[in-house]
Amino acid sequence: MIFSVALEQGTNKWYGRFIELPGTIAWAPTNQVLMEELKAELEYHLNWLQTHDEETPFFGKVCIVVAEEVHNIRELGESGGEVAFFESDNKVITQKEMNYLLRLMGYNRKDLLELVNSMSPEQLMYNPPGKSRTVTDILHHVCNAEEFYTSRLGEEADHLYEDNAEMLPQEIDELPIFERLQVVRKACIKTLEALIPQRGDTIFTRSEYTDYPHEKWSAYKVMRRFLEHEREHYYNILEYMQQPIRRHKFRW
């Protein structure tokens, strides 16, 4: 089976994902190393889908093909940095696809919570040498990112998100982290369900809350970033805990 990948390149960093498999993500300092990381990510993701009783699109020998490549993405992989817009982001999300993407979001959150709920208070506040965040900081960052992705849908999304949360943004920010994770995710999902169908295949920008006001977004890009970002930081926390990032092999 042929799997196509979309790559983005920044300063000394490459990111990639499988176009047919939303939520996959890998990164590396070079293109060559990234391709090896993507092979490992493919095995992990197919096994992950099986674990969550989802259909696995695998038939015969695997062939990985680079379908899209975008260069010079500013601050790639950094908080507030750019994220590439791919041709594959320019698509209408059907209701069936929306339901699928929301299920994947649920699996990601389940995995994340199972990981951090087992941690002691000391582990949650652990800040490894050379890292700028504790585990708790990472979880707050996940919340911040989800609010940001939702906001890309326009000013209407800001008001709808607050209505769905039934709290002011500053009140949400002050919640204990596990409560904040729940409130933010619930309000985001309600907002996404209301607005994603209205966006169709429209490409849009928004100048608020970003250093890159001309960055292109679409409904699909918003949804894939929810998935990619949470998995990336799930891997980060595993790394903090010195656990292997990809522990399972696909049953070929």
| The pLDDT value given to residue 59 | 62
Torsion angle, alpha carbons of 220, 74, 159, 140, to 10: 100
pLDDT at 98: 98
Say which CATH class 88-240 falls into: mainly alpha
Other CB atoms within 10 Å distance of the CB of residue 241: 15
* CATH architecture for segment(s) 2-78: 2-Layer Sandwich (3.30)
Query: 217 and 206 in contact (C-beta within 8 Å)?
Result: yes
Contact 12, 33 (CB under 8 A): no
Angle formed by the axes of helices 219-240 and 135-151, nearest 10°: 180
* 14 phi, psi to nearest 5 deg: -125, 140
Q: How many CA atoms lie within 13 A of 231 on its CB side?
A: 24
Domain ranges of the chain: 2-78, 88-240
Amino acid identity of residue 208, one-letter, is E
How is residue 158 written in tokens?
């800001």
Q: Let me know if the fold of 2-78 is the same as that of 88-240.
A: no
Q: What is the pLDDT along the chain (252 residues), one digit of tens a residue?
A: 899 999 999 999 999 999 999 999 999 999 999 999 999 999 999 999 999 999 887 667 889 999 999 999 999 999 999 999 999 999 999 999 999 999 999 999 999 999 999 999 999 999 999 889 999 999 999 999 999 999 999 999 999 999 999 999 999 999 999 999 999 999 999 999 999 999 999 999 999 999 999 999 999 999 999 999 999 999 999 999 888 776 544 443
Q: Residue 252 has what pLDDT?
A: 38
Q: How far apart are CA 107 and CA 230, in angstroms?
A: 11
Query: What pLDDT does 246 receive?
Result: 65
